[in-house]
Amino acid sequence: MAGGSGAAQALDLFVALVLSSCIGVERELRQRSAGLRTHSLVGLGAALFMLISKYGFEDVLSPGRVVLDPSRVAAQIVTGIGFIGGGLIFVRRDMVRGLTTAAAVWLTAAVGAACGAGMLALAAGATAGHFVVVYGYGPVVRLLARPGNRNLLWMRYRHGTGALRTVVQSCTEAGWVVAELSVAREGEVGAAQGDGHGGQEVEVSMELQGRGSLTDLVSDLEEIDGVVSVQAGSTSSVGDSP
């Protein structure tokens, strides 16, 4: 094997796989679009690219004549991983989804590159930092939320699917209290609109009390069977008209 110890390089790859898998497990448990397999492969691939850059060309190097710069590979990894991250970000109306998942993939690539460069302690520290941010910053965000804000949710679902009951239950499990719920309007929809189900679509507005993440709540509610669309917003209750 060209350059260095094969065992040491295999250790770097193994650590990259373990650390990136740890990040992937957290994303998988949250049922994000990029989960365990995606993060594991990103971290492992980034580590392999770094190892190839460091050791893969030593047989063609010539002192004073042929010189390679391994740091260029790290820059190319950052550029390449942007395509994956960009594909995970979705914008629907005024809600942006997938930013945290894209950032996690980006961080996983950095962890893998650090492992490939032999900086195992730094890679482990970055992985630990991921869990501090994901699990530790959530309560901080909730504490910083303005208590005077009204959290509003507008949902459209198919009548007869039991979606409303599931939505209310999901809100409660996520730490929200449904303070007010009202049906805005009902309308007939059929196969001509492309849903293929017929029946009624019911539009509901809800006022929620709590300090959770509205973005995460919307993402979870959109996965419920029978829910057509979900939109959320937050406005100050001071001076609001009823």
Give me the pLDDT at residue 53, please. Answer: 81
Predicted confidence (pLDDT) at residue 190 exceeds the cutoff of 80? no
Give me the pLDDT at residue 127, please. Answer: 92
End-to-end CA distance of the chain: give it in Å, rounded.
73
Band (pLDDT 50/70/90 cuts) for residue 193 is very low
- Selected from 3.30.70.260, 3.40.50.280, 3.30.70.580, 3.30.365.10, the CATH number assigned to the domain covering 149-236 reads 3.30.70.260
Give me the pLDDT at residue 91, please. Answer: 59
Q: Domain residues of the chain, as ranges?
A: 6-143, 149-236
Give me the pLDDT at residue 195, please. Answer: 47
Give me the pLDDT at residue 147, please. Answer: 56
Residues 132-150 have pLDDT tens digits of: 888 887 777 666 655 555 6
3-state secondary structure of 198: coil
Give me the pLDDT at residue 239, please. Answer: 37
Residues 75-91 have pLDDT tens digits of: 788 788 877 777 766 65
Other CB atoms within 10 Å distance of the CB of residue 87: 13
Helix (H), strand (E) at residue 25 = helix 6-29
At position 200, the amino acid (one-letter code) is Q
- From edge to edge, which strands make up the β-sheet containing 227-236? 177-188, 200-209, 149-158, 227-236
Distance CA 14, CA 147 (A): 46
Residues 214-242 have pLDDT tens digits of: 777 887 888 888 888 888 776 544 333 33
Residues 5-57 have pLDDT tens digits of: 578 888 998 999 999 999 988 888 776 767 888 888 889 988 988 888 887 76
Among 149, 147, 80, residue whose Cα is nearest residue 113: 80
Band (pLDDT 50/70/90 cuts) for residue 111 is very high
Give me the pLDDT at residue 152, please. Answer: 83
Which sign, positive or negative, has the C-alpha torsion 114, 119, 124, 128? negative
- pLDDT over 70 percentage in the chain: 72
Give me the pLDDT at residue 154, please. Answer: 86
Output Rg (C-alpha) for the chain, integer angstroms: 24
Predicted confidence (pLDDT) at residue 173 exceeds the cutoff of 80? yes
Q: Does the global pTM surpass 0.85?
A: no
Alpha carbon distances (Å) from 13 to 9, 24, 38, 84, 103: 6, 16, 16, 21, 22
Band (pLDDT 50/70/90 cuts) for residue 194 is very low
Give me the pLDDT at residue 90, please. Answer: 62
